[in-house]
């Protein structure tokens, strides 16, 4: 059995290789990682409760390796092969995000690990978007884009061969996994040479900047890698001192005692020199930097309340004002673990304390009694997914004003899943299953 390397180990090697590559390609990413590490160390030093909570949930170790990336692809076939590639690393498509509502011509999923042990080991995620070419309204341009996409292969031949080998053998040896990581990385590398002439690029860019980004290059370059911080407000504040210019607003919920879901901010995409096939030179803006702060995952009721309050709050021009306004609006949202749990607003994981191990739950004892007696501990489950409104904000801050598609047409999860070759997993079902499993492990009947 152990002749093969585990999917978790391959994922960790891959995410490290990708981080090293991106650091070379985009030096600001390295700067941002250093800043995040410094702020995280301070936050842990200053807040022993936070440190204890993360330590209890076994999250301290994963903090420094934790990051997510994002890519955009052009065809169903590319998406389907990516599904195989990520599966080798124990990453599966979770959730469906329709971004056309925000004027962006893509729909997306997140490839990520799903089970407890894998998440603890390394929760590396990749937000993956598929272009919706039907939103290119010029017919001849649409055909041209399809032709260009049909002619390219974003995977190396050896990468394809190793995917086939993995399917056939049921795993990869250490040496094969090493080779796989090197080959797979090629798909995500930046190319300073566009695969099209400057005229085609201009025409596609005019339709939508994202269309040019997806269609005009030989690979699906990683467009950002995002480290996880424990204090996003602090990092946002310090970014200019490191020569990094953040976007105006931090996306997502306000700062809270018990952080919920996901808060994100980014720095604007870089204008990078490229050479077209006809030898003309130009620039392309695609790659940027982002940081995130993760909090507890919300149940469907909690999420509905979050969505309602967020849309009530709207958007602002100034971060400080916006954060204050958000904080006021979110005052109605409970901000302590007990209430979040008792009102069924957030997902938790339960385990027996020392005391609980010594005196295990007896039949008829209620969960609340056991928690009050300190025999069962309830720990918030970290949110492992993304937020469509925030993602739209991140996309838009990099696209500028003119990048709105005219009419979105009906986005369809079914079309996306047909392209992917399988159904996306339902994130709520995953959180619920983890909660139920943890109760069962305590010897308690799921609620
Ligand atoms: C993805 C933008 C969304 C996030 O963290 O929500 C995203 C993209 O620009 O391709 O990365
Ligand atoms: Ni992101």
Q: Flag whether 148 is in a domain.
A: yes
Q: Flag whether 333 is in a domain.
A: no
Q: How far is the CA of 356 from the centre of ligand 1 (A)?
A: 42
Nearest to 438, CA basis, from 346, 130, 447: 447
pTM for the model stands at 0.95
Residue 425 is classified by DSSP as B
Q: Parallel, antiparallel, or unpaired for β 125-131 and 67-73?
A: parallel
Q: What is the pLDDT of residues 218-272, one digit of tens each?
A: 999 999 999 999 999 999 999 999 999 888 889 999 999 999 999 999 988 889 9
Q: What residues make up the domain containing 414?
A: 7-296+384-425
- Residue 189 is predicted with a pLDDT of 97
Q: Locate 107 and state its tokens.
A: 């729909």
Total structural domains within the chain: 1
Atom of ligand 1 nearest to the CA of 223: 10
Q: Flag whether 190 is in a domain.
A: yes
d(CA 261, CA 132): 28
Query: Between residues 317 and 217, which one has the greater pLDDT?
Result: 217
185-219 CB burial, b ≥16 within 10 A, e <16: bebbbbeeebbbebebbebbbebbbbbbbbbbbeb
Q: Flag whether 315 is in a domain.
A: no
Q: How far is the CA of 68 from the centre of ligand 2 (A)?
A: 6
Query: Taking 80 as the threshold, does the pLDDT of residue 405 lie above it?
Result: no
Q: How far is the CA of 7 from the centre of ligand 1 (A)?
A: 25
Query: Between residues 183 and 287, which one has the greater pLDDT?
Result: 183
Q: Flag whether 445 is in a domain.
A: no
Q: Flag whether 321 is in a domain.
A: no
For residue 398, what is the domain's CATH number? 3.10.180.80
> How distant is the alpha carbon of residue 269 from its chain centre?
18
Residue 192 pLDDT level (bands cut at 50, 70, 90): very high
Q: How far is the CA of 168 from the centre of ligand 1 (A)?
A: 34
Mean pLDDT of 414-425: 96
d(CA 54, CA 60): 6
Q: Flag whether 407 is in a domain.
A: yes
Measured from the CB, is residue 264 less than 6 Å from ligand 1?
yes
- Pocket probe for ligand 1: among 82, 288, 394, the residue whose CB has the most ligand atoms within 8 Å is 394
Q: Flag whether 406 is in a domain.
A: yes
Query: Taking 60 as the threshold, does the pLDDT of residue 1 lie above it?
Result: no
């Amino acid at each position: 059995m152990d002749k093969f390397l585990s999917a978790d180990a391959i994922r960790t090697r891959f995410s490290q290789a990708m981080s090293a590559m991106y650091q070379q390609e985009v030096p600001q990413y390295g700067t941002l990682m250093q800043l995040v590490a410094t702020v995280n160390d301070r936050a842990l030093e200053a807040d022993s409760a936070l440190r204890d909570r993360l330590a209890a949930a076994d999250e301290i170790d994963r903090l420094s390796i934790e990051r997510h990336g994002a890519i955009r692809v052009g065809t169903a076939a590319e998406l389907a092969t990516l599904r195989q590639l990520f599966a080798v690393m124990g990453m599966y498509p979770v959730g469906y995000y329709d971004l056309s509502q925000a004027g962006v011509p893509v729909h997306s999923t997140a490839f990520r690990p799903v089970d407890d042990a894998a998440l603890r080991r390394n929760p590396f995620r990749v937000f993956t978007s598929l272009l919706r070419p039907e939103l290119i309204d010029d017919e001849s341009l649409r055909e041209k884009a399809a032709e260009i996409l049909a002619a390219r292969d974003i995977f190396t031949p050896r990468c394809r061969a190793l995917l086939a080998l993995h399917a056939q053998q049921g795993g990869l040896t250490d040496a094969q996994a090493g080779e796989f990581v090197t080959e797979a990385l090629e798909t995500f590398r930046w190319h300073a040479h566009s695969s099209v002439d400057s005229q085609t690029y201009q025409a596609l860019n005019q339709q939508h900047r994202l269309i040019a980004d997806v269609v005009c290059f030989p690979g699906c370059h990683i467009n950002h890698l995002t480290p996880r911080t424990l204090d996003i407000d602090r990092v946002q504040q310090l970014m200019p001192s490191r020569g990094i210019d953040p976007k105006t607003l931090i996306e997502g919920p306000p700062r809270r005692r018990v952080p919920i879901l996901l808060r994100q901010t980014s720095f604007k995409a870089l204008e990078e020199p490229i050479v077209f096939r006809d030898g003309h030179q130009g620039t392309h803006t695609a790659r940027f930097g982002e940081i995130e702060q993760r909090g507890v995952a919300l149940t469907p009721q909690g999420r509905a309340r979050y969505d309602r309050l967020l849309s009530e709050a709207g958007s602002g021009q100034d971060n400080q004002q916006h954060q204050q306004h958000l904080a006021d609006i979110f005052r109605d949202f409970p901000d302590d673990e007990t209430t979040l749990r008792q009102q069924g607003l957030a997902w938790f994981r339960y385990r027996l304390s020392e005391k609980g191990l010594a005196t295990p739950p007896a039949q008829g004892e209620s969960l609340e009694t056991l928690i009050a007696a300190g025999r069962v501990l309830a720990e918030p489950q970290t949110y492992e997914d993304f937020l469509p409104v925030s993602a739209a904000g991140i996309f838009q801050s990099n696209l500028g004003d003119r990048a709105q598609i005219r009419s979105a047409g009906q986005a369809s999860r079914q079309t996306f899943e047909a392209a992917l070759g399988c159904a996306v997993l339902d994130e709520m079902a995953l959180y619920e299953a983890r909660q139920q499993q943890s109760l069962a492990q305590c010897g308690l009947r799921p609620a």
